[in-house]
């Protein structure tokens, strides 16, 4: 195993800490979900296959080279292709979180959602932290074809919802990816609570104000 510096040790501990938090709050169950994080040397860490996010061992995380080949640790999650596709198309992505969180999965099954922007602008923070969420059609878990579907989005979305499966969210840091994933789940829960009630959404002018004020990517309703 390569010599591990203090930065990598901290990254491994952070992955396990955040993963356990997701598990304990019921945002991921069993051996579902996975996290990856880019390292300073161009390699990246990923949670291993068939492991619970609540009981990860920092020393056994998968260490992958820039091409996604295993360097050390346990074999990575079978969802490696979708992570790699998002890294390849989102230049600023430093970490990715993929969950099977209940409300986000439920929304992915609804017939009325727009695949270009799954959720309407319900709150300021959904616009600020998540942006427009794209829906990717259903693929079998681990199917490498999902990578092609994500690449087809050309990096326009930091958050993607896999139909009948769950969210995949990229962030500049693991903390940012976690916050965006949690915000997406809360927005999905709000959407389900308000479905059919004709809620008052943020107007396009209000969304544009957020985009301009915080320097966000464009978000059209």
Could you read off the pLDDT tens digit of each residue along the chain, which spans 221 residues?
A: 556 889 999 999 999 999 999 999 999 999 999 999 999 999 999 999 999 999 999 999 999 999 999 999 999 999 999 999 999 999 899 999 999 999 999 999 999 999 999 999 999 999 999 999 999 999 998 898 999 999 999 999 999 999 999 999 999 999 999 999 999 999 999 999 999 999 999 999 999 999 999 989 877 55
Pinpoint the alpha helices (H) of 137-217: 145-151, 174-194, 204-214
User: Which residues is 70 bridged to in the sheet?
Assistant: 64
CA 90/CA 159 separation, integer angstroms: 11
CB 81 within 8 A of CB 145: no
pTM assigned to the model: 0.95
* Distance, CA of 1 to chain centre: 28
CB 73 within 8 A of CB 48: yes
SS3 of 60, please? helix
Say if residue 3 is exposed, middle or buried (CB neighbours under 10 Å; 0-12, 13-18, 19+): exposed
Which residues does the annotation mark as catalytic? 125
Joined tokens for residue 204: 């396009």
Structural domains present in the chain: 6-214 (3.40.225.10)
Query: Could you say which DSSP state residue 49 is in?
Result: T
- Selection from 120, 9, 117, 135 nearest residue 61 by Cα: 9
CA 132/CA 120 separation, integer angstroms: 8
């Amino acid at each position: 195993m390569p010599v591990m510096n203090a930065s990598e040790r901290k990254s491994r501990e952070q992955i396990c800490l955040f993963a356990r938090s997701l598990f304990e709050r019921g945002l991921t169950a069993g051996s579902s979900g996975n996290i990856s994080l880019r390292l300073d040397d161009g390699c990246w860490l990923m949670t291993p296959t068939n492991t619970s996010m609540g009981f990860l061992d920092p020393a056994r995380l998968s260490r992958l080279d820039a091409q996604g080949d295993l360097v050390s640790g346990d074999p990575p999650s079978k969802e490696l292709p979708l992570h790699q596709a998002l890294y390849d198309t989102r230049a600023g992505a430093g970490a990715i979180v993929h969950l099977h969180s209940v409300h986000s999965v439920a929304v992915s099954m609804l017939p009325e959602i727009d695949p270009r922007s799954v959720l309407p602008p319900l709150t300021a923070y959904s616009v600020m932290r998540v942006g427009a969420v794209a829906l990717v059609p259903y693929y079998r878990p681990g199917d490498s074809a999902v990578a092609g579907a994500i690449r087809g989005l050309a990096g326009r979305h930091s958050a993607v919802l896999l139909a009948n499966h769950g969210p995949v969210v990229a962030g500049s840091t693991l903390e940012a990816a976690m916050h965006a994933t949690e915000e997406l789940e809360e927005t999905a829960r709000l959407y389900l609570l308000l479905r059919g009630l004709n809620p008052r959404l943020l107007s396009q002018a209000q969304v544009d104000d957020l985009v301009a004020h915080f320097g966000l990517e464009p978000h059209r309703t």
